[in-house]
Chain A
């Protein structure tokens, strides 16, 4: 989709190249995060893709087309661009801001206006904001408008330079989630620059960790970077707790749930007791009519007691959605009653239960095989399947 070939940039009056002979391939529909310490040339690299910074040498290909020498203005209209400061035009309304590129491309009024409404809806901004000005928006809203503006003409490629850098941590987290959800639908090819490895791990389908002069230390999926850092530089850059960070990359839906007895709140006491006898577990989960988790009931509580089921045992808490990651699930489990979390679907209906054993098992399968490490050459090592996430299966063919 995007191919950079031997790209270099030497700024005037500087001896060292800011970017030195970088080659990188970016695949369609992926978020590729360029991450590295300050001054490593990641932003320069990104800005050479839409030629805000003209490369000194090397070539840039978009969708197979060499764009190193084409008209940069036309090129940029095909590429969405979001920067940290967002740079909304303060003298134009939100609608006019979003319509910037469509207007340049000569769309008619009706089409532009429809697109603006559509985009406002996509990024979750009320249509009543159409005719307001940027200064009337909060930081998070501005950021959303910035993304909407970049997507206005539906460019296949988007460049994002620390787009969530200027908002507070809570808003940032929400915006990241929103954006990932959005990306599920729009499937753009995105080059994302950040200095924050946690953001890189969260956002990236693939991460390029860059050293000085944009030299690639490792270009890989977040999973593999965390489980198998290429060198000491990468290791240092990831920082502490790579295994814990790794957990945030696996969804609960990727692992086997534990087998757990369930009954209904509408069932009779005897039915529940029968259920209890047939299992080795000491608790049964009771569901309500909508299949939503209602209460946990223990062996002793049900044995001789005829308290209505709605009031016996404990209310079912520690509920996570199936698309939650292992990190959050583990966190929920730690604070839960029996060290287990109930998994529900988007509608809150029961899907299964995970406990520490199932999570530990899942962690085991993703750990690099330490004993193999010294015996097999690294190439082979990397070929070994470590886990069965969908993301990794996709990588298998084109990744390396």
Chain B
């Protein structure tokens, strides 16, 4: 919170910025409260109670988060590294090929990727994570490459001209200047992953998708509304977190 306040206090629009930072969590809190009240008013039968209890919901939310976070962590490592390699001069020839390959991952519908992986490999959380990685690889890769390529060539030349090594130029100049665009890609990937992870239930990965799926097959609207509402709140909350992270991590002076 102190970081937030510090960030918000900067500049003349400090109060407005603080409000902007707080608006989303307040809204999400209200939405959560509304869901709680809705469930309380409705009254639950035994089937609904099996899904709508704190233990199950927290467990499923945690699983969903775990799927999204692990897959994002893996995909960030993979795609940022690949993006760096593909923007080096030696990779000029292979880069269209790799991008084409990554395109395939995103072009196949996510449920298709999941099903295929379950068929040829196994069921559970890992194939789900792999599917999420394949699915969001491209968006971060593309942003990494765009971010690195948009760095003004004269900045790189002056850095090299002063005797910075290629590595130093990459880590001290190129990457920091590409951070805003890379972060935007990561944010998108994270949101996609939270949403897509709900489909993981079809290959036994668990998560809030399980409740949603159950609710549909058993025709329980309360459960459906609660589970999908929670998924939406979770996605929006992560998006908000990522937005705050973007503001904090963006290099000053840009």
Contact = CB atoms under 8 A, between A and B. Distances in A.
Interface of A: 50, 52, 72-78, 81, 83-93, 100-101, 104, 133-135, 146, 149-150, 159
B254 interface: yes
Contacts of A104: 162-164, 168
Contacts of A52: 157, 160-161
Contact of B253 (A77, A78, A92, A146): A92
A175 to B, nearest CB: 18
Given A74-B163, A100-B164, A91 B177 contact: yes
A87 B165 CA distance: 16
Contacts of B164: 73, 100, 104
Contacts of A149: 162
B42 interface: no
Contacts of B155: 87-90
B163 A91 contact: no
B254 A90 contact: yes
A101 B152 contact: no
Given A73-B165, A104-B163, A133 B252 contact: yes
B59 interface: no
Interface string B239-253: 000000000000111
16 contacts: A77-B162, A83-B154, A85-B152, A87-B158, A87-B159, A88-B155, A88-B158, A89-B155, A90-B177, A91-B177, A91-B252, A93-B253, A101-B162, A101-B163, A104-B168, A146-B158
Nearest to B168: A104
A85 B156 CA distance: 11
Nearest to A47: B161
B173 interface: yes
Contacts of B252: 91, 133
Interface string B125-148: 000000000000000000000000
A222 to B, nearest CB: 27
Contacts of B157: 52, 83, 87
Contacts of A101: 162-163
B147 to A, nearest CB: 13
A50 B152 contact: no
A76 B253 contact: no
Contact of A76 (B152, B163, B173, B251): B163
Nearest to B250: A91
Given A87-B155, A89-B155, A90-B177, A81 B253 contact: no
Contacts of A83: 154, 157-158, 161
A93 B254 CA distance: 11
Contacts of B173: 89
B253 A133 contact: yes
Nearest to A94: B253
B229 interface: no
A149 B155 CA distance: 13
A102 B39 CA distance: 65
A30 B161 CA distance: 21
Nearest to A159: B161
B162 A91 contact: no
Nearest to A91: B251
Nearest to B176: A91
A130 to B, nearest CB: 13
B160 A76 contact: yes
A149 B163 CA distance: 12
Given A73-B163, A87-B154, A91-B177, 17 more contacts: A52-B157, A52-B161, A76-B163, A81-B162, A83-B154, A84-B154, A87-B156, A87-B157, A87-B159, A88-B158, A100-B159, A100-B162, A100-B164, A104-B162, A135-B254, A150-B162, A159-B161
